[in-house]
Structure 1
């Protein structure tokens, strides 16, 4: 895929330290965390070392909302979170501790609440139909609804939805009035200095993401002082952000995959693939699973959107014959299923970008292999329309709607379906990830970091979010399986044969079940049941959200209860997890230190400064024990040694963030340079320098089980500038230019080294 040009020269500088994501919850939730509770965390977050508090949506959401993405009123701060006065008091408290605010913005959709009157613009459209002055707000197919808006439960919905969620109706942000009315309060808070940055939710749903970002950046930024704007954009494979986007980068799913991948042993791919196929009888490749899941989404959950797109296509091509229309639908669905990325970025009336042409050509080539020969010319006609070519009624609309359909089809078909159907190694089935990409080489990782620093220095990096299917340390533990494929295959087979009556689980679900227990152990019955229910229904093979097979689900959950209740089995499982954790420690600390010090602005998801072993939401949105974290940080700051992995991870997180805060010239736009190790264990070290020489050195252990088999670090050195280097994690001092890794990594499997002139002078 062609490399886009770097962002505009006035892209904002990266914040000095990093962000901390908080999931706010309203008063109707027993786990309430509103503006007042967030304000109380200011001293702790400042001590941790972050520069920005990163808030989930703050506008008025539907009653009982647990996340804030179901907005009903853009002119009010959430009453359930505390309202305007509490928000101002919170910001004042943050400011007193040197903290700024990044807010999650939801431009793509609003909620259809119960009752609908809670959403005033929507209520007006329900009353007055297409004649309402608010009709321009929503993306409605008036012809399909007979001139009215069809609500959920009243009939296939005639409005564009957020993915397949009928309770969320999409907005037309391309309309300047809609943009102004839905962003007015947020922009006033930016102008007043209450909000310092904006995180844009799901820009791929918008008609013209580039145009939206241009308008937002112009409205939010002062002359010569661009605002820090990030987009929740999923890039796939070699995809890059489109050229011309007025933002600082993404929310970091690309970094998540690269960081995690470099701690996975590529030698484990073949044996783990064989173990998976032997256990499940499933395919070796993800490709066919992905294709079938996309087709399922097109024919089921997203059928209303595909139907509407098909009608627009037939209108654009002037096709009225039923047989020909059916052929066009076949070709259209195959093209959508073949899209290699979320969407192309085509603006009607403009020449299509090179990136968009490449994407559509790749999709057409793949689709041609799946359609009858008579439909191949139709594919070409559809691609031409999708690229903005052709005339006639509906041509421009088709180009836009094709993109707005391919994006949710990718999300629902791949991440929310296929990722639950093919679990060769569950830690790879992550948002923005590619289960077919087993590992990342150090060389590819370093090239990625250099590219990020060059093009998007203020982009975000992350390891966990409110949407990740497994928190970072579940994935870190499961990564060890790539180094121990034999013991894993033996254990999985042993556990499968535990019950002489056999397992009621589908083979792939059972393989995921044992991985989940190993990765997230210890698990309560309630948490495991929540995860299994979601996994079963998302896979949509035996049960789903619309028509659940309660008999199958009850059998699965009863089996899970029996597993957790068997003392011998759980002892065996715990023993296996203990074996993993000997090596997982290096992965947990290594990926965290790398994420915190690589190019970009690191985000710490709430609570993940200690080990993060939560699963997909709602598990990953559980309340966080900040009293425990304060006490641990206070103890470490008093000079006490870490007592366990939680302490070690908190030490790594706080010291790395504080170093970023204290030495901004090393981070932000500071240089990035790989540092190679020399010696027999060189492949087990991942190291890089930040800032101009001598700068700071990040050193991490990779593939720790293999390192142990190789005999450890003996005879392996890291090159550094002459002089003394102090590890800010342990306080130990080492002399360059050849640093013995047996000494540098003797206490912890990671090190963060800085020049130590004080020790040198002494």
Structure 2
């Protein structure tokens, strides 16, 4: 996007995860530290009202209010004021796709459950009120029960109660409303007998009969006419107040209600006694169901396959306005200076949403173009649509590109062979991905696919050329095309705009692949689907065109969650060749990134998306940045890795247990475990308590990993004996007994890999801070980050400890200390992480002092020459006369040989040089990290810097030009 008026562009962001353990007050206390670190903008998780106890905030229940667990409005204003006092901005994570509905905490959802299609909030949620299953007509399927409905009912787990004038149904932490009209069933049960026992009908019983009459005359919940809705809401509230007063004041009516509640709740062992409650539940706008039926019958769209997150219809203008009312106010007030849009691909029309968002934020009086980035997973060679009104992505594309620099692509075949020999078969990631997406469409999202199939069937029936297509063949075609889709989704609109060349190419590719995988199926069915997706529509009737548009838009909203769940949360846990490549937004088939490719991608980024975020860790990454940096090293050591991983497997074979004819863990899971241990093993010795904690983290991670892979167990169908056997295997492998041969050979190799990984990590930090884009620091990662996937990576961060380290370093520097000596000391004690914090702090502070170079400066690739040229990545950033040169090492194990060797000085680099993209004049450069000055010299008509001088003391260099 090229705005006419630039918004506030962050120079560097720091992600904080707000929750009850880290509320506004804690964030406020952290601001001075973040400022001293060099951060310009705090990037916060959602702080809108969420499900009580939420640790992440993605389950928003009220987008119009701040989360009370984070503090008061005053606490929030103090936080914002502290940021502003330090010249810092605030970027808010916006959850635009869904709302949390757990614990009955969402009053909008509760209103829908009470009032059905006539609810004022019925259009907020994406509910199919006329689903394929006729019994659900006008109802919402609620798959919240832990067992079959009948069993749960007769076990008295579902209980009727009365609360302040209304009846509710309780099931553990769920409290569901009883609709007003059916509640007459409770009030009238046994009423005639009570009246007969009285000679003259008393006023309280007359009032009760009047209330019942009023209930029966309420407009139906299926009547959504505005005047009927207003009447329903007005009258039911009056009735509630009357009933509350009557039950409170009348012993007779109170006794009747109490007795009827007991009758409706049934008697254990008497199945017939539950008929009353069953009949009452059948009259509600929801149907309680066993949670396992969700995948096939659920009729509200979810966030992925999570039942507790209900998708919302952001394409509706009223929904957009109401859900963004508070956000827009905070933006216009200046409290929030930027937005991060969560899972933009889940929206009906992302491009239109972003346009409306910018317009709403700007207001009419004073245009204020807003800094907006989107969480978007880009496929291979995919770019953001050029017309999106945002400033880039949240950085997964950058993360995977930088990570690829430290993977030795020359050893791909060797690593393939190691993996194949260990597994005793050669997996194909293409096949794993295809099978995983098919599994998701069958196991957890079959309802969504079935709905698409029926929509497509209705469309086919309208044309004599397609009416012979069967429902099964059409549904099969949808599954196959989605399974073969090369990206998360396309962005075909529901308006007259033509399909873009980009989307046309992806749709054609998906259909072609689906045809190839189904040679026995007629291609005509696939062609029919393709014609719809390409907007080659039959325009005979306006209604037909509308139905075709709806099919295409729903199809696009379905490919994204299928891909996310199928690839990120299934295939990435099944294909374990080199798991540092199995990252969100990554492609395990891309084994390494050449320096030339990196430069080309950075130049493209500088031209089109210069202010996209540059992330290396996020709350969603599968592994911490320094875990990946270690695992990358294995690509440099295929022979050692092959020899040792097979040796470890033989040594640990005795710890496996047979579970129903299957050794647990299987070889693929075992291969994952060894890589995980290589990456996550902490620096230095661990006390017994620390070691137990580490072992517990690994056991928890492996349980999650094998559930995500869905091979022997899953979240839907946990296989506890298998999981227990895997946990026992992990515990046995990590037992620190003296005769544990595995640890004897594992620990020296792990320490060697970890030392090489250190240099990858430092290089990664400097690349993030200086390459095109806005660097994003995930909370705590300024020290070594050895966390695994969530919830491991969301553990509390000790900000005070980091602040103390930063202050000590700053005091050394301010006291006039020699930076070179300080760097040498930090490298000597590199396991404590201070060297990473130093590089982060120094780079961020330099960047903040000279933002123009990094935000607007050119990107100039630098050539390298000499025997070690392949172990370098170097470039310059330049704006006007100001220039910085960045030099970092890569593939270090082949550079230094011994793990303890620091990749600095002449013995390592020899006569290797960096050729400066310059005008041919000699120039002096100061290394910002060490304070050293180096001078370029002429070599074959070019100015060069000798790498041995540039990296004389520190293995990474940030050089600023200080004159000729």
Q: What's the Cα RMSD here?
A: 1.8
Q: Is 1:25 equivalent to 2:25 in the alignment?
A: no
Equivalent residue number for residue 177 of structure 1: 318
- Residue pair 2:7, 2:369 contacting (<8 A) in 1 also: no
Matched residues in 2 for 1:608 and 1:112: separation? Answer: 32
Matched residues in 2 for 1:512 and 1:344: separation? Answer: 33
Deviations 1:591-613 (A, max 9, x none): 11101110010100001111111
Matches within 5 A, 1:492-571: 492-501=645-654, 503=656, 504-522=664-682, 524-567=694-737, 568=740, 569-571=742-744
Equivalent residue number for residue 82 of structure 1: 71
Equivalent residue number for residue 501 of structure 2: 354
Q: 1:11 to 1:614 in 2, by over 3 A?
A: farther
Equivalent residue number for residue 484 of structure 2: 338
Matched residues in 2 for 1:573 and 1:592: separation? Answer: 28
- Residue pair 1:198, 1:230 contacting (<8 A) in 2 also: yes
Equivalent residue number for residue 278 of structure 2: none
Matched residues in 2 for 1:37 and 1:96: separation? Answer: 17
Q: Is 1:712 equivalent to 2:699 in the alignment?
A: no
Q: Is 1:682 equivalent to 2:869 in the alignment?
A: yes
Q: 1:578 to 1:11 in 2, by over 3 A?
A: farther
Q: Which runs of 5+ in 2 are unaligned?
A: 145-287, 290-296, 539-543, 657-663, 683-690, 814-821, 898-902, 938-943
| SS at structure 2 position matched to 1:21 | strand
TM-score, structure 1 as length reference = 0.95
Deviation at 1:390, TM superposition (A): 2.2
Aligned pair partner of 1:264 in 387, 407, 410: 407
- Residue pair 1:191, 1:220 contacting (<8 A) in 2 also: yes
Equivalent residue number for residue 945 of structure 2: 739
Deviation at 1:587, TM superposition (A): 0.3
Aligned pair partner of 2:138 in 135, 144, 147: 147
Matched residues in 2 for 1:185 and 1:450: separation? Answer: 38
- Residue pair 2:884, 2:958 contacting (<8 A) in 1 also: yes
Matched residues in 1 for 2:750 and 2:654: separation? Answer: 26
Matched residues in 1 for 2:310 and 2:653: separation? Answer: 50
Deviation at 1:225, TM superposition (A): 3.8
- Residue pair 1:537, 1:543 contacting (<8 A) in 2 also: yes
| SS at structure 2 position matched to 1:497 | helix
- Residue pair 2:100, 2:106 contacting (<8 A) in 1 also: yes
Matches within 5 A, 1:203-282: 203-221=344-362, 223=366, 225-282=368-425
Matched residues in 1 for 2:761 and 2:362: separation? Answer: 38
Matched residues in 1 for 2:614 and 2:425: separation? Answer: 34
Matched residues in 2 for 1:11 and 1:482: separation? Answer: 46
Deviation at 1:373, TM superposition (A): 4.4
Deviations 1:497-548 (A, max 9, x none): 1135253211111100000001111371211111111101000000000110
Deviation at 1:321, TM superposition (A): 8.2
Equivalent residue number for residue 3 of structure 1: none
Deviations 1:427-475 (A, max 9, x none): 0000000000001111111111111111111111100000000010000
Deviations 1:389-431 (A, max 9, x none): 3242621111001001000010000110000001000000000
Matched residues in 1 for 2:801 and 2:637: separation? Answer: 34
Whichever of the two has the greater Rg, that structure is: 2
| SS at structure 2 position matched to 1:198 | strand
Equivalent residue number for residue 634 of structure 2: 481
Matched residues in 1 for 2:501 and 2:120: separation? Answer: 39
Equivalent residue number for residue 465 of structure 1: 618
Matched residues in 2 for 1:420 and 1:10: separation? Answer: 45
Matched residues in 2 for 1:574 and 1:682: separation? Answer: 32
**Which moves more between the two structures, 7-16 or 230-239?**
7-16
Equivalent residue number for residue 656 of structure 1: 843
Deviation at 1:224, TM superposition (A): 5.4
| SS at structure 2 position matched to 1:604 | strand
Equivalent residue number for residue 625 of structure 1: 798
Q: 1:311 to 1:199 in 2, by over 3 A?
A: same
Equivalent residue number for residue 113 of structure 2: 126
- Residue pair 2:584, 2:620 contacting (<8 A) in 1 also: yes
Matched residues in 1 for 2:399 and 2:390: separation? Answer: 19
Higher relative contact order (CA 8 A, sep 6+): 1
- Residue pair 1:13, 1:457 contacting (<8 A) in 2 also: no
Matched residues in 1 for 2:695 and 2:405: separation? Answer: 33
Matched residues in 2 for 1:744 and 1:79: separation? Answer: 52
Number of positions where the alignment pairs a residue of Structure 1 with one of Structure 2: 745
Matched residues in 2 for 1:191 and 1:671: separation? Answer: 33
- Residue pair 1:108, 1:206 contacting (<8 A) in 2 also: yes
Matched residues in 1 for 2:569 and 2:362: separation? Answer: 36
Matched residues in 2 for 1:620 and 1:518: separation? Answer: 17
Q: Is 1:193 equivalent to 2:193 in the alignment?
A: no
Deviation at 1:724, TM superposition (A): 2.1
Q: 1:601 to 1:446 in 2, by over 3 A?
A: same
Q: 1:214 to 1:517 in 2, by over 3 A?
A: same
Equivalent residue number for residue 326 of structure 1: 472
Deviations 1:665-717 (A, max 9, x none): 21102111011122111111101111235500111001111222597210111
| SS at structure 2 position matched to 1:718 | strand
Matched residues in 2 for 1:291 and 1:253: separation? Answer: 22
Q: Is 1:42 equivalent to 2:31 in the alignment?
A: yes
Deviation at 1:298, TM superposition (A): 0.7
Q: 1:502 to 1:557 in 2, by over 3 A?
A: closer
TM-score, structure 2 as length reference = 0.75
Deviations 1:211-251 (A, max 9, x none): 00000011113655411001001101011111311000100
Equivalent residue number for residue 221 of structure 2: none
Aligned pair partner of 1:644 in 830, 837, 850: 830
- Residue pair 2:66, 2:73 contacting (<8 A) in 1 also: yes
- Residue pair 1:16, 1:668 contacting (<8 A) in 2 also: no
| SS at structure 2 position matched to 1:369 | helix
- Residue pair 1:453, 1:600 contacting (<8 A) in 2 also: yes
| SS at structure 2 position matched to 1:546 | coil
- Residue pair 2:488, 2:559 contacting (<8 A) in 1 also: yes
| SS at structure 2 position matched to 1:636 | helix
- Residue pair 1:15, 1:51 contacting (<8 A) in 2 also: no
Deviation at 1:13, TM superposition (A): 6.0
Aligned pair partner of 1:161 in 302, 305, 312: 302
| SS at structure 1 position matched to 2:298 | coil
Deviations 1:608-633 (A, max 9, x none): 11111100000000111122211221
Matched residues in 1 for 2:788 and 2:323: separation? Answer: 33
- Residue pair 1:331, 1:371 contacting (<8 A) in 2 also: no
Matched residues in 1 for 2:708 and 2:621: separation? Answer: 14
| SS at structure 2 position matched to 1:53 | strand
Equivalent residue number for residue 598 of structure 1: 771
Q: 1:729 to 1:12 in 2, by over 3 A?
A: same
- Residue pair 1:423, 1:508 contacting (<8 A) in 2 also: yes
Matched residues in 2 for 1:422 and 1:160: separation? Answer: 29
Deviation at 1:570, TM superposition (A): 2.5
Aligned pair partner of 2:433 in 275, 290, 298: 290
| SS at structure 2 position matched to 1:695 | strand
Deviations 1:173-205 (A, max 9, x none): 111100010000010011111000000001111
Q: 1:322 to 1:129 in 2, by over 3 A?
A: farther
Deviation at 1:574, TM superposition (A): 1.9
